[in-house]
Amino acid sequence: MKENLQRLRKAAPNLKATDMPGTPFERDKNGPRVESETELIQTYLVPLAEGMPGAFGLRDDAAVIPHAPGIDLVFSSDPIIAGVHFFPDDRPADIARKALACNVSDMAAKGAEPLAYLLTLALPEAPERAWIADFAKGLRAAQTEFGCKLIGGDTDRTPGPLSIGITIIGSVPSGAFVPRHGSKAGDHVFITGTIGDAALGLALRREPSLFKDRLSESDREFLLDRYLRPRPRSALAAAVRTHARAALDISDGLVKDLTRLAGPLGLALKFDVIPLSSSVRAALAADPKVQDAILAGGGDYELLIAVSPEKAEKFLASAAKTGIAVRDVGVLDAGTHVAVLDSRGNRIEPRHPGYDHFLR
């Protein structure tokens, strides 16, 4: 090892021991940053696996989840990256919650109950102990809320921005998985909650003075909270798997995700029936361009659900028991396009098609 390090130093004179793969992040035991990968895992992540025997205290390279006959396991992965999905100076607990919540939202859309998750944490440098402690605290609160536990993963050092990858595992009764595609002409389309909140919260996070004197402080706090702390509709999972023909969550924008749900079908969506919070309505009254954020902003993690006409009333009754608001926004038809219409029946074309990581 010593000879290898000497050869590497000749090839790269500025190479430090801490730059070598597999070496600790830091060597300062008294500093604010963690001393090693072992400290990071054992101190902050292992406690998140308590009570999950198949996680083996995060000492193994894999985990085991026993499941009963008649149960299907459901897997999904949705990473978040600093500068793309969150701001680097957001509170660590909020970042942790968002990382887990957006994955739990995928489970809800499939009618699945979350069981466990794997965490891949790629850090640009050794985190400060205070930061990773708050991050772990946020994860603990989120996993308690959502009913799942950490069972493994990996930690890495990256030359890029902070990246948090979560792979979530859920369960559904055999054959009850709800696909994204599968809706049919005549199906009713339901939307949970309200739309556009997260997009406006992001806009306020970027520019705090936006809508100055037009939004109350409580409106601002509400919108920022909707951006920072998504609320996956897990309580609706049973109703989704019992009654839905197809479903997905709204992460990339209402129109884009509605087009995905419709597939080869069409839908005439009246703008006036889109469920909006009073905060978004206030912003829309101040600036008509807010319409674009509603239609294409994304990030709300509400659900789009297609239900056959025979099951629509039963779905509404089941949803009502959860306390989660759902709204029937239209019926899928044999057309081939999703169109948004204003109060006069004129088509509204959003300036942006929805979020795309690679679209320029």
Q: Which residues are annotated as a binding site?
A: 61, 76-78, 85, 106, 153-154, 180, 249, 251-252, 355
Q: Please, what's the b/e burial string for 37-56 (b: 16 or more CB within 10 A of its CB; e: otherwise)?
A: bebbbeebbbebbeebeebe
Q: Where are the beta strands (DSSP E) in the chain?
A: 71-77, 80-81, 113-123, 149-157, 163-173, 188-192, 244-249, 267-270, 303-307, 326-331, 338-341, 347-348
Q: Please, what's the b/e burial string for 141-150 (b: 16 or more CB within 10 A of its CB; e: otherwise)?
A: ebbeebebbb
Give the angle 178-182-185 at the CA atoms, nearest 5°.
135
Neighbours of 87 (CB within 10 A): 15
* Local structure of 158: helix, strand or coil: coil
Would you list which residues are annotated within the binding site for ATP? 153-154, 180, 251
Neighbours of 6 (CB within 10 A): 10
Q: How far is CA 171 from CA 49, 167, 271, 303, in A?
A: 18, 14, 36, 18
Would you list which residues are annotated within the binding site for Mg(2+)? 61, 76-78, 106, 154, 249, 252
Burial of 275 (0-12, 13-18, 19+ CB in 10 A): middle
Query: Comparing C-alpha atoms, which of 248, 253, 278 is closest to residue 198?
Result: 253
Residue 324's φ and ψ, nearest 5 degrees, are -90, 125
Radius of gyration of the chain (CA): 23
Query: Comparing C-alpha atoms, which of 92, 120, 123, 125 is closest to residue 26?
Result: 125
Q: Which helix (H) or strand (E) holds 134?
A: helix 129-146
Would you list which residues are annotated within the binding site for substrate? 85, 355
